Amino acid sequence: MQLKRATVYLDPELHKALKLKAVETSKSVSELINEAVREALAEDVEDIEAFEERAAEPLVSYAEMVKRLKKDGRL
């Protein structure tokens, strides 16, 4: 796989933390960033799938939900 180069500006403290983690894990800062972005995108896919699964469910207003919670003794 051919890698693409990108310039990313990081908060100095975040960069310092990444460098320390890179040393502790024997990985590069680039590897850590790639892993974090991959995980974030995977979470997005899971969220989208969950939304699609529930798309046919009826909508409930905020007011109705509060009434239900009160009725069930949760509020």
pTM over 0.75: no
Digit-coded pLDDT (tens) for 11-56: 999 999 999 999 999 999 999 999 999 999 999 999 999 989 999 9
Judge whether 26 lies within some domain. Answer: yes
Judge whether 2 lies within some domain. Answer: no
Domain span at 17:
12-71
29-33 long-range Cβ contacts below 8 angstroms, 24+ apart: 30/3, 33/8
Cα distances (Å, whole numbers) of residue 69 to 45, 57, 61: 30, 19, 12
Q: Is the pLDDT of residue 69 over 90?
A: yes
Judge whether 46 lies within some domain. Answer: yes
Judge whether 7 lies within some domain. Answer: no
Judge whether 64 lies within some domain. Answer: yes
The model's confidence at residue 72, banded by pLDDT at 50, 70 and 90, is very high
- Can you tell me the mean pLDDT for 3-15? 96
Judge whether 52 lies within some domain. Answer: yes
The model's confidence at residue 1, banded by pLDDT at 50, 70 and 90, is confident
21 closest CA partner among 30, 32, 37: 32
Structural domains of the chain, count: 1
Judge whether 5 lies within some domain. Answer: no
